[in-house]
Chain A
Amino acid sequence: MSDYAVQTNTEEYLSLGRNKLVEMYHTMVLIRRFEESAAKAYSQQKIGGFLHLYIGQEAVAVGSIAAIHKEDYIITAYRDHGHAIARGTDPRILMAELFGKYTGSSKGKGGSMHFFDAERKMLGGHAIVGAQVPLGTGIAFKAKYRKEDAVCLTYLGDAAMNQGAFHEALNLAGLWKLPVVYIVENNMYGMGTAVERASAVTELSKRGSAYGIEGMVADGMNVFAVYDAVKEAAKKARELSLPTLLEVRTYRYRGHSMSDPDSIYRTKQEIEEEKRRDPLEQMKKFLLDEKIATQKEIDRVDEEVKQTVAECVEFAENSPEPPLESMYDDIYVQ
């Protein structure tokens, strides 16, 4: 099924403990159901603007964030729902943000592409392709400057690698040896353009070599493969203050955004084929095979998530619109 990092460290995964393992599954299911619910609300015009769904890529956010500490930083691009949920942000305020409500994580000023949770060191949600890469590099610079035992996971899409900001930032990280892990979520398409139609080099992890940055590849559909790779890269960042360029091969099941006519640039058959690697199904199988959870317990997780997401929508719907004068808030620190 997978030609990347093979899942061999079963013992180690088991040592994470039942609670953590079930929690990881729970988070993946929560991300998926949250987004399915958001898609529905979008079609009902309760959510506006752009809505980029993460469905299919859940193992990346969950596996990578499970592998770091709460003192570590994360920053990502505009497909950011999964990262915020995996970092532990209350999904109700995230749904409220999608609805543009005053109770939202950015008080209705950010929307889908701009989730922030400063308290949990989730530093956004950034919507100009590649522009968050220098930011993540600067966050890692701060960790080193202050001699913190912290790393910064900086997520980007495959298409962001062709932006100048990416290359300038990687040069600085390589030159100054910054504790940053660049996680390229290669979902095979930048909007409708396939990787091989956008990048002269399709083995993306090699593109760090120009800056002396070691590359790694992991199966982005397998939460443990992501976990292993990020743990190793984060250790290298923490102990040796060295950056890593980690390519995780994943797939988004939905279009680039809600308005994406999915059928133009890829086939239904391809999508169905990729779904056979489904990260949630793989995790569920692991939990059952290793007798960590029973089918009944799995069903209970599904039921709990259903309940949580219903509460998110209810909270968002019942929350107030921002007062008009709030548009003038938070432009400057007074």
Chain B
Amino acid sequence: MPELSFREAINQAIAEEMERDDSIFIVGEEVAKYQGAYKVTQGLLQKFGEQRVIDAPISESGFTGLGVGAAMVGLRPIVEVMTFNFSLVAIDQIINNAAKMRHMSGGQLKVPLVIRGPNGPAHQLAATHSQALESIFAHIPGLKVVVPGTPKDAKGLLKSAIRDDNPVIFMESEVMYGLKGEVPEGEYTIPLGKTDVKREGKDITIIAYGKMVNLAMEAAKSLSSDGIEAEVVDPMTVRPLDDEPMIESVKKTNRCIVVSEAWPFASVASEIGYRISSKAFDYLDAPVGLVTAEDVPMPYNKILEHNALPTIEKILNAANSVLYKK
């Protein structure tokens, strides 16, 4: 299987889907002439022309709303936000318009829209530019929220997101764009709302998604050298959340930690923790542990920043804690 970067995998997904369906267009800041702020849209302008690859002025509320409107009448827009930090200026369009349109119209309308871009902390960008916002979107009925952790998943899930008839929030990561991984050749899709077991193990379940999948895999390796086999479970889509494989895993391992780089309060991690606690209550040998970002706005200082995020050490400590090793 060829190795592709996360960036290339997403680019391929967009290009393949645009080739297949001319109702798809992409709009966002610097997506066309500049070839993408993070080069994700490289070459798309040359391939599809300026009618379908459209540079927008810096006005997220305007062009996100335009995407919602175009989707209401049959187009399939991909709205790129340069980062999800900036989606906050378009939050009314996303929550009140994109998510609720179908319900509010009694099923008369649909909004086949993908809003995608990098999410989560990057390096030393401080509080406004380093935050994982998936819990906010996952809170909203009517939205689907996808947070892939590998190039292969990113490509297959994005293709499904583009074909989905619902508004999908698709969250990537600046610091993962260069990450390489095996990506199958040829056409494939990965369905939304399906949890994937990334590593099998019998002693502890580590649930992680997005960038944190890679950290969890590293932690699993480290645990393995101590004779503890961790099962790494990746929901990939955080709404709708396919919790069945998580429950099944915990029934086997009896111990569980959840890793997320978002804040802990009212979060995807706490939701997963709640579901495990209520649906696998009789199987748990320890309370579900959460390893999340610290409950603070992201500081600029490198050392503070590192310590505000989940780390291998924090994952290992949490694992040892539910294993009553320390």
Residues of A at the B interface (CB closer than 8 Å) are 73, 75, 104-110, 114, 116-119, 121, 123-126, 128, 131, 133-143, 145-146, 164-165, 168-169, 171-172, 175, 329-333
The CA-CA distance from A126 to B92 in the complex, in Å, is 12
Residue of A110, A119, A134, A164 contacting most chain B CB atoms (<10 Å) = A134
Q: A142-B73, A333-B112 given; name 15 further pairs at CB < 8 Å.
A: A106-B105, A106-B108, A108-B106, A125-B104, A128-B97, A134-B68, A137-B65, A138-B68, A141-B70, A142-B69, A165-B93, A171-B59, A330-B103, A331-B141, A332-B166
How many of B's residues come within 8 Å of A, CB to CB?
Answer: 42
Are B69 and A136 interface neighbours, CB within 8 A?
yes
Q: Which residues of B contact A108 (CB under 8 A)?
A: 106
Q: Mark B89-125, 1 if CB is under 8 A from A, else 0.
A: 0001100110001111111111010000000000000
- Give chain A residues whose Cβ lies under 8 Å from the Cβ of B142: 331-332
Kindly provide the distance from the CB of A143 to the nearest chain B CB, expressed in whole angstroms.
Answer: 8
CA distance A75 to B142 in the complex (A): 21
Q: Is B165 an interface residue (CB 8 A)?
A: yes
Which residues from chain B contact A332 at a C-beta distance below 8 Å?
102, 142, 144, 166
Interfacial chain A residues near B110, Cβ < 8 Å: 333
| B62 lies within 8 A of chain A by Cβ | yes
- A114 x B104 contact (CB < 8 A): yes
Is A165 in contact with B62, judged by CB distance below 8 angstroms?
yes
Are A165's CB and B65's CB within 8 A?
yes
Interface contact A331-B103, CB-CB below 8 Å: yes
Q: Is the interface of A mostly helix, strand, loop or mixed?
A: mixed
Question: In the assembled complex, which residues on chain B have CB atoms less than 8 Å from the CB atom of A125?
Answer: 104
By the criterion CB–CB under 8 Å, are B104 and A109 in contact?
yes
Q: Is B284 among interface residues, defined by CB-CB distance under 8 A?
A: no
Residues of B close to A330: CB separation below 8 A: 102-103, 105-107
Contacts of A126 in B (CB 8 A): 97
Whether B74 lies near A165 (C-beta < 8 A) is no
B130 at the binding interface (Cβ < 8 Å): no
Q: Which 8 A-B pairs have the closest CB atoms?
A: A138-B69, A134-B65, A168-B62, A106-B106, A330-B107, A135-B69, A138-B66, A333-B165
B75 touches A145 (CB 8 A): yes
| A131 touching B73 in the complex, CB below 8 Å, given contacts A116-B108, A330-B102 | no
Chain A residues near B61 (CB, 8 Å)?
134, 164-165, 168
Q: A126-B97, A131-B97, A138-B66 are in contact. Are A333 and B106 (CB under 8 A)?
A: no
Is B106 a contact partner of A110 (Cβ separation < 8 A)? Answer: yes
CA distance A73 to B70 in the complex (A): 12
Contact partners of B96 in chain A: CB under 8 A: 128, 131
B25 contacts A by Cβ under 8 Å: yes
* Residues in B lying within 8 Å of A, measured CB to CB: 25, 51, 56-57, 59, 61-75, 77, 92-93, 96-97, 101-110, 112, 141-142, 144, 164-166
Contacts of A333 in B (CB 8 A): 102, 110, 112, 164-166
Chain A's nearest CB lies how many Å from the CB of B104? 5
Known A135-B68, A141-B69, A331-B141; judge A105-B56 contact (CB<8 A): no
Q: When the two chains form the complex, which single residue of A128, A169, A331 contacts B92, counting CB atoms closer than 8 Å?
A: A128
Tell me the minimal C-beta distance from A165 to chain B in angstroms: 5
Distance of B23 from chain A, by nearest CB (Å):
9
Docked CA distance A108–B68 (Å): 23
CB distance from A2 to the nearest CB of B (A): 34
With contact pairs A331-B142, A332-B102 given, residues A107 and B65 touching in the complex (Cβ less than 8 Å) = no
* In the complex, chain A residues whose CB is within 8 Å of the CB of B25: 145
Chain A's closest residue to B54 (CB) is: A176
Q: Contact between A142 and B74 (Cβ–Cβ < 8 Å)?
A: yes
CA distance A114 to B57 in the complex (A): 30
- Given the complex, which residues of B lie within 8 Å of A142, measured CB to CB? 69-70, 73-75
- Please name all residues of chain A whose beta carbon is closer than 8 Å to the beta carbon of B103 when the two chains form the complex: 109, 330-331
- Known contacts A137-B66, A145-B70: A165-B141 contact under CB 8 Å: no
> What chain A residues lie within 8 Å of B165 (beta carbons)?
333
> A residues within 8 A CB of B71?
138
Q: In whole angstroms, how far apart are the Cα atoms of A277 and B127 in the complex?
A: 56
Shortest C-beta distance, B43 to chain A (Å), equals: 21
Instruction: From the candidates B51, B57, B64, B106, name the one contacting A134 in the complex (CB within 8 A).
Output: B64
Are B72 and A135 in contact, with the CB atoms below 8 A?
Answer: yes
Who on chain B is nearest to A170 by CB? Answer: B62
Cβ A107 vs Cβ B67 within 8 A = no
Shortest CB-to-CB span from A211 to chain B, Å, is 11
For A111, give the chain B residue with the smallest CB separation.
B104
CA distance A294 to B107 in the complex (A): 44
What are 7 pairs between A and B in contact, CB < 8 Å?
A105-B106, A109-B106, A110-B104, A117-B108, A134-B93, A171-B62, A333-B110
A134 pairs with B105, CB closer than 8 A: no
Residue from the list B63, B68, B106 in contact with A104, Cβ < 8 A = B106
Asked if residues A165 and B92 are in contact (CB atoms below 8 Å), the reply is yes
One of A114, A146, A164 near B105 (C-beta < 8 A)? A114
| Cα-based distance from A117 to B72 in the complex (angstroms) | 12
Are A169 and B102 CB-contacts (below 8 A) given A107-B107, A118-B108, A134-B93? no
Q: Which residue of A lies closest to B77 (CB)?
A: A138
Residues from chain B with a CB closer than 8 A to the CB of A121 are 73
Residues of A within 8 A of B104 (CB): 106, 109-110, 114, 116, 124-125
Contact A169 B105, CB 8 Å, known A139-B72, A142-B73, A331-B142: no
Report Cα–Cα, A75/B70, bound state, in Å. 13
Q: How distant is B248 from chain A, measured CB to nearest CB, in Å?
A: 24
